Amino acid sequence: MKPKIWMSSPHMGGTEQGYVKEAFDTNWIAPLGPNVNWFEQDVELFLNDNIHVAALSSGTAGLHLGLVLLGVKAGDEVICQSMTFSATANPIAYVGATPVFVDSEKDTWNMSPEILEAAIKERIAKGKKPKAIIPVHLYGMPAKMNEITAIAKRYEIPVLEDAAEALGSSIDGKRCGTFGDIGVLSFNGNKIITTSGGGALVSHDAGLVKDARFLSTQARDEAPHYQHSKIGYNYRMSNICAGIGRGQMEVLADRIKQRRAIYDQYYKKLSGKKGIYFMDEPAGYFSNRWLTTLLIHPDEAGFSREDLRLALEKENIESRPLWKPMHMQPVFAGSAFYGDGTSEKLFENGLCLPSGSNLTDVDMARIFEAIDGILN
Ligand SMILES: *Cc1c(COP(=O)(O)O)cnc(C)c1O
């Protein structure tokens, strides 16, 4: 069996172990510590825009804390992009709220501003104004944030921006994660850079980020004993993980270039082939191309995305259908959904291809050989 080619695997830059060793040498083996502070500063500098960052144990923790900080409570409704990873929607259930799912639009595959507004109007007419809106930047492609935040402002609903897949993506130079009232990043092992496991909550509101740090370290009031007046969480990033993150931040710009180069290779090879469609960047949009994705229209192409997936699998190459929309998931059966079938079609025809920044020319040749087998 040939070695496995993964869709997206960790890619160290080389300095990570030095920062981790520093943590060991100083015995800072704890959630929080100097690496965490430096890592937060690195991410703040990268995102720019006077943003504040709290490093956490995961992106999921960031989304959960985000909802808590926005005051979402049991019985509330939260509007959520339907096509996404379950980690976007699960935190709505953690706080006892109910998700209202909104479909994607065709340009970015992310939340449709038109359907969002229709959904808000109908929920308000039903006497239930949504407490938050969660758009997602899938595969690194920014959602239509200018339109979405304008609607959110008009109806005075806060935006919790799931930028887990979009570190380094931007619209007109403004980085993903900085559009919402709160943004969330992920540093899981499969993301564009990783801390092995980790995430961050970011906001322009320094007070909110201070509260996130407080809640994520068990909400300890100032006192010599353990004193609590709020429910806390154990969600802070470990000083070891942050050491990895400091090294990874040094190579983030390279990783974006490398992922985009992988996309370009696929594009060169496959664009213009019958029935194969890529997700182009709208004017002013910049995607980190975390994953290269394709749509295959089987009636035009003569094969389906599943045919291609199985052909790759036979060669020990990992690929995967696009995110299965949340309104189609058994766990969210019966949830409200506003849509026009866009995300269902994307799920039916879409495939994520191996996109790691550490893919070699030999790996790419193997991938293209398997794709050629299907094309011919
Ligand atoms: C990875 C991911 C998350 C969750 O991040 P973790 O750090 O794995 O908890 C949330 N939303 C999306 C869209 C993701 O891809």
* CB of 287 shorter than 6 A to ligand 1: no
Q: What is the pTM of this model?
A: 0.97
For ligand 1, the distance from its centroid to the CA atom of residue 8, given in whole angstroms, is 14
Q: Which two tokens stand for residue 28?
A: 């800072």
Residue 103 has pLDDT above 90, yes or no: yes
pLDDT at 31: 87
**pLDDT for 260:** 98
The CB of 164 under 6 Å from ligand 1? The reply is yes
236, β-bridge pairs? 56
Task: State the sign of the Cα–Cα–Cα–Cα dihedral 269, 272, 277, 282.
Answer: positive
| Helix, strand, or coil (residue 164) | coil
Packing angle between helix 206-216 and helix 59-69, nearest 10 degrees?
120
The whole-angstrom distance between residue 196's C-alpha and the CA centroid of its chain comes to: 15
Please name the residue ranges forming H helices in the chain.
16-25, 34-47, 59-69, 86-94, 113-125, 145-154, 206-216, 239-250, 252-270, 298-301, 305-314, 342-349, 361-375
Q: Does domain 16-251 have CATH number 3.30.230.10?
A: no
CB within 8 Å of 154: residues ≥ 6 apart: none
- Is 30 a residue whose pLDDT tops 90? no
Q: What's the pLDDT at 311? A: 97
- What was the pLDDT predicted at 300? 96
Query: Which parts of 187-251 fold into alpha helices (H)?
Result: 206-216, 239-250
Q: If pLDDT is split at 50, 70 and 90, which confidence band does 32 have? A: confident
Within 13 A of 185's CA, how many CA atoms are on the CB side? 33
Q: Is 4 left (phi over 0), alpha (psi -120 to 50) or beta?
A: beta
Indicate the top mutation candidate among 57, 136, 137, 188 to test ligand 1's pocket, ranked by most ligand atoms within 8 A of CB: 188
Tell me what the mean pLDDT of segment 322-349 comes to: 97
Nearest CA to ligand 1 atom 6: 59
Give CA–CA dist 95/66, Å, rounded.
11
CA of 332 to the centre of ligand 1 (A): 18
Distance 186 CA to ligand 1 centre (A): 6
Q: Quick one: what percent of the chain has pLDDT higher than 90?
A: 98
Q: Ligand 1 atom closest to Cα of 136?
A: 13
| CA 107 to the chain's CA centroid | 18
Q: For residue 49, what pLDDT band results from cuts at 50, 70 and 90?
A: confident
Averaged pLDDT, 201-212: 98
Tell which residue, 169, 230, 166, 152, has the closest CA to residue 200. 166
| Contact 84 CB / ligand 1 (< 6 Å) | yes
pLDDT digits (tens, 9 = 90+) for 219-246: 999 999 999 999 999 999 999 999 999 9
Average pLDDT over residues 281-296: 98
Model confidence over 58-101: pLDDT tens digits?
999 999 999 999 999 999 999 999 999 999 999 999 999 999 99
Q: How is residue 293 written in tokens? A: 């994705």
Does the beta carbon of 165 lie inside 6 Å of ligand 1?
yes
pLDDT for the residue 173: 97
Please, which pLDDT band fits residue 317 given cuts at 50, 70 and 90? very high
pLDDT at 246: 98
Q: Cβ–Cβ contacts within 10 Å for residue 126, how many?
A: 10
Q: Rounded to whole angstroms, how far apart are CA atoms 329 and 161?
A: 22
Task: Summarize the confidence of residues 329-356 as an average pLDDT.
Answer: 97
Q: Is 83 in the pocket of ligand 1 (CB under 6 A)?
A: no
pLDDT range class, residue 178, cuts 50, 70, 90? very high
**Tokens matching residue 9:** 């695997």
Q: How far apart are CA 95 and CA 72, in angstroms?
A: 7
Q: What is d(CA 12, CA 209) in angstroms, rounded to the nearest whole number? A: 28
- What residues does each domain of the chain span? 16-251, 253-375
Q: Atom 11 (ligand 1): residue with closest C-alpha?
A: 88
Distance, in Å, from the CA atom of 245 to the CA atom of 38, rounded to the nearest integer, reads 9
State if residue 133 touches ligand 1 by the CB under 6 angstroms criterion.
no
Q: How far is the CA of 65 from the centre of ligand 1 (A)?
A: 14
Question: 1 pLDDT exceeds 90?
Answer: no
Bridge partners for 338 per DSSP: 102
Q: Whose CA is nearest to atom 14 of ligand 1?
A: 164
Ligand 1 pocket, mutate which of 88, 176, 184, 290 (most atoms under 8 A from CB) = 88
Ligand 1 binding pocket includes 85 (Cβ within 6 Å): yes
Give the integer Cα–Cα distance in Å for 353 and 365: 14
Give residue-wise pLDDT tens across range 105-161: 999 999 999 999 999 999 999 999 999 999 999 999 999 999 999 999 999 999 999
- Only one residue has tokens 């520093």, namely 22
Residue (of 89, 90, 92) closest to 72 by Cα position? 92
What is the CA(59)–ligand 1 centre distance, in A?
Answer: 5
Q: Which CATH class is domain 253-375?
A: alpha beta
Q: Residues for the chain: how many in total?
A: 376
Pocket test for ligand 1, best of 134, 136, 162 (most atoms within 8 A of CB): 162
**For residue 376, what pLDDT band results from cuts at 50, 70 and 90?**
confident
Q: Is the CB of 200 under 6 A from ligand 1?
A: no
Structure tokens belonging to residue 107: 């340009």
Q: Which residue has the tokens 């019958």?
A: 274
260 CA to middle of ligand 1, Å? 21
CA 275 to centroid of ligand 1, rounded, Å: 30
Percent of the chain residues topping a pLDDT of 70: 100
- For ligand 1, the distance from its centroid to the CA atom of residue 178, given in whole angstroms, is 17
**Residue 136 backbone dihedrals phi, psi, to 5 degrees:** -130, 145
Q: 199: Cβ below 6 Å to ligand 1? A: yes
